[in-house]
Amino acid sequence: MRIWKQLLLCVVALFGALCLWVFMVPSAGVTLIGMGVPAKAVELVSGAPAKTAGEAGTGPARGGSEGQQAGAVDGRSGQGERRNQNGASGSGRATLVAVEPVAVGTVNDRLSAIGSGEAIQSVVVMPQATGTVAEILVSSGQRVTKGQVLARLDDDEQVIERDKAQVSLKSAVEKSASYKNLQSVARLDVLDAQIAEQSARLAVSTANLNLKRRNIVAPIDGIAGIVAVNVGDNVTTQTSIVTLDDRSSILVDFWAPERFATAITPGLAVEATSIARPGQVFKGAVQAIDNRIDAASRTMRIRAKVENTGDELRAGMSFAVSVRFAGESYPSVDPLAVQWDAEGSYVWQIKDNKSVKTRVRIIQRNPDAVLVDASLKQGDNVAIEGLQRVREGGAVRLAGSQNAPEVAAQ
């Protein structure tokens, strides 16, 4: 059979099935009309007038449905009217809010750094002559004073040289004196005798100085460290005998960021804490500031002087240093007053019982206040409670106020 005949038979079969479905199922016509089939075609197929979707339901059911729909519409209408009434009455009443006056706060900028301590004076004691240690007169941890003898070197040779110089001086003095009394001595010989006397005196001074240098003395007041030599050791002018530290005050060196270069000045108060003394704060002040900023770290060296009256600190300790700076003053508001929207932060400022949205820029957050940059001055009222119903230019009533208006101005 040719293909066009097969297609024709298929179309005839489908049309017959459609006619049978429309004839057997009453709601088939409604379905076809809903699918976009013309009502005339449906009537032609079914042989009966086509019914619309509204006519397909029964009368009582349709009536009940219409009644329910009408009731629902009436109910919604009633609720809408009540809402409108409430809205109309609510729009005429002022919103109750709690306010708090604006205060003034100061931004306290603070520098925290780690520093290393050293004694205000520290000296490594070395002998001024070469020799053998004959006596040690200091012990570790002993407090010494300037000029105190710490150790002695052998001085037998220096004693002999001093005695020889004294003998030579005595001879020169007698010779010079005798030449002065003799008229027969030439003037030139008298001059030579006087020069010999002066040379002998210088020799005695040199011998006394060499003998004095056999004593190793303390150049400063301080505390002695560990003695590095023993009796019998042969020492030179490069040998370390003992270290003396004057720790009546401790110098703490720390590094400050570049942005504090102009803020730090000599005399600025400093607080220092040490791991060795937890919980104890030591007071001090900035003593010196370096004259340049390190190009690699972008920091500047600062030296602070911390008093150590109780001798509780030691050179070499690490310190947590804190420096406070007097900052700028800004309006201070309660944290509850700050609100946010798409444009940023703001507060509701109350002026003449009206709410005004005032934009703010937060500078610093504290537990009990927020410092802001805004057109606010001390004493201005800002709302902190009841903010949900506050609107721009809306009337407000202040909580606790007896003279506040109940109704907004018309």
* Nearest CA-CA partner of 219 in 149, 167, 168, 161: 149
**Does pLDDT of 218 surpass 80?**
yes
**What number of other Cβ atoms are within 10 A of residue 170's Cβ?**
13
Answer with the residue of higher pLDDT: 367 or 227.
227
- Backbone torsions φ then ψ of 17, nearest 5 degrees: -65, -40
Answer with the residue of higher pLDDT: 87 or 2.
2
Looking at residue 85, its pLDDT comes to 39
**Region label for 347, one of left (φ > 0), alpha (ψ between -120 and 50) or beta (otherwise):** beta
Tell me the pLDDT tens digit for each residue of 323-381.
988 777 899 999 999 999 999 999 999 998 899 999 999 988 888 899 999 999 999 99
**What number of other Cβ atoms are within 10 A of residue 264's Cβ?**
17
DSSP 3-state assignment of 172? helix
Please give the Cα distance from 356 to 97 (Å, whole number). Answer: 13
Give the list of residues 6+ apart from residue 136 with CB closer than 8 angstroms, or none.
150, 151, 227, 229, 230, 231
Looking at residue 324, its pLDDT comes to 86
Please give the Cα distance from 91 to 78 (Å, whole number). Answer: 20
For residues 111-119, average pLDDT:
92
Tell me the pLDDT tens digit for each residue of 279-325.
889 999 999 999 999 999 999 999 999 998 888 899 999 999 999 88
Paired strand residues for 256: 300
Task: Share the mean pLDDT of the chain.
Answer: 82
DSSP strands (E only) in 195-343: 215-217, 222-224, 234-235, 242-257, 269-274, 277-289, 299-307, 318-325, 329-333, 339-341
Looking at residue 184, its pLDDT comes to 66
Looking at residue 7, its pLDDT comes to 81
Please give the Cα distance from 271 to 110 (Å, whole number). Answer: 11
For residues 100-127, average pLDDT:
90
Q: pTM value?
A: 0.53
Please give the Cα distance from 271 to 324 (Å, whole number). Answer: 9
Looking at residue 16, its pLDDT comes to 79
Measuring CA to CA, how many Å separate 242 from each of 131, 151, 215, 354?
Answer: 16, 10, 14, 80
Binned at pLDDT 50, 70 and 90, residue 153 comes out as very high
Answer with the residue of higher pLDDT: 88 or 137.
137
User: Helices then strands (H, E): number in the chain?
Assistant: 7, 22
